[in-house]
Amino acid sequence: MDLDQLAQTAAAMTQPSKGILAADESTGTIKKRFDAIGVESTPDNRRDYRELLFRSTEAMQNHISGVILYDETIRQTAKDGTPLVKLIEQTGAIPGIKVDLGAKPLPFCPGETITEGLDGLRERLTEYSDLGARFAKWRAVIDIGEGIPTWTAVKANAHALARYAALCQEQSVVPIVEPEVLMDGAHDINRCATVTEFVLKAVFQELYEQRVVLEGMVLKPNMVIAGKKSPQQASVDEVAEKTLKVLKRCVPSAVPGIAFLSGGQSDEEATAHLDAMNRIGGVPWRLTFSYGRALQAAPQRAWSGKPENVEAAQRAFAHRARMNGLASMGQWTSDLEKVAA
């Protein structure tokens, strides 16, 4: 384990005005995205789409610090034979890799899941490091509903996250620790705050017990937000205030940065909430983004699988990356969204 390297990489991943592009959709997930725009999900189409993102110079150089890749993608080459990892590195961004094997039903806990993938992880991390990955990502999924989450589910997922993080750091790979409290239910923002605090405290206790070096990790949490089905939707300011309140109670100052997931928010909602938190400020960590859909929905629609639309898709990606880059510094305004991508 190289502590200096871990700390330097974690700091670079959360540097000012930049954030992380989550391009680690599984084959099944990206098929759903492609189905929505009428594109067949073939290896070549998936490669072409990711390549147009990574060749979007304005976005990648100015506003993207790292890219989370899927197993297929980290092994692919561009049309000209250049490894996609090299395209990312040429822009100054850092390649990373999703290493969990997905959420599976948790025995005896109806409606809850456990993320799998610890078996063989040490060997997979070695291989991914050889392929160019300098950080990794593992997502734990916590749902809110009647009687859930249970302590069983929270404890099991927190423990798996910590085990994963320790294995990453052993290989000098920065772990993104992602405990996601879902926003799919009918709960209000206060219920989300309570559950998020419960989950984060459990995660950091497990990280401590597994001897994870906090300076060499990045936290990727949900924002504290009402469920999609809740009749009581919170304002942008309330989301920002409650999210920061929970984080201050749970996250040690040694953590260098927090890169939020968008979790199903619209493009502009995810940007506005991040901006509001950075305007409040007064926190010891860098607050930035690690968005998938909130960065990619617009370029996917613009591209629609047509080569003649590549430049339009890159402009759309550059626009969303710029908006979130500004939000990561508390400099975004809704008027900027009116500017054509």
Q: Residue 312 CB: number of other CB atoms within 10 A?
A: 17
For residues 297 and 76, give the distance between their C-alpha atoms in angstroms, rounded to a whole number.
22
Residue 120 is classified by DSSP as T
Catalytic residue among 51, 112, 178, 206: 178
For residues 309 and 302, give the distance between their C-alpha atoms in angstroms, rounded to a whole number.
7
Helix (H, G, I), strand (E, B) or coil at 210: coil
- What sign has the CA pseudo-torsion 304, 308, 310, 313? negative
Locate the DSSP E strands across 216-277: 218-219, 257-260
Tokens of 269: 């909602």
Active site residue 311: no
CA 291 remoteness from chain centre: 5
Give which of 200, 129, 131 is closest to 168, Cα–Cα.
Answer: 129
For residues 341 and 336, give the distance between their C-alpha atoms in angstroms, rounded to a whole number.
10
For residues 84 and 93, give the distance between their C-alpha atoms in angstroms, rounded to a whole number.
12
Give which of 317, 287, 301 is closest to 38, Cα–Cα.
Answer: 301
For residues 204 and 285, give the distance between their C-alpha atoms in angstroms, rounded to a whole number.
15
For residues 29 and 27, give the distance between their C-alpha atoms in angstroms, rounded to a whole number.
6
- What sign has the CA pseudo-torsion 181, 93, 284, 233? negative
Active site residue 197: no
Catalytic residue among 18, 98, 137, 220: 220
69's enclosing H/E stretch is strand 64-69
Tokens of 102: 């997905």
**Torsions phi, psi for 131 (to 5 deg):** -80, -5
Catalytic residues: 178, 220
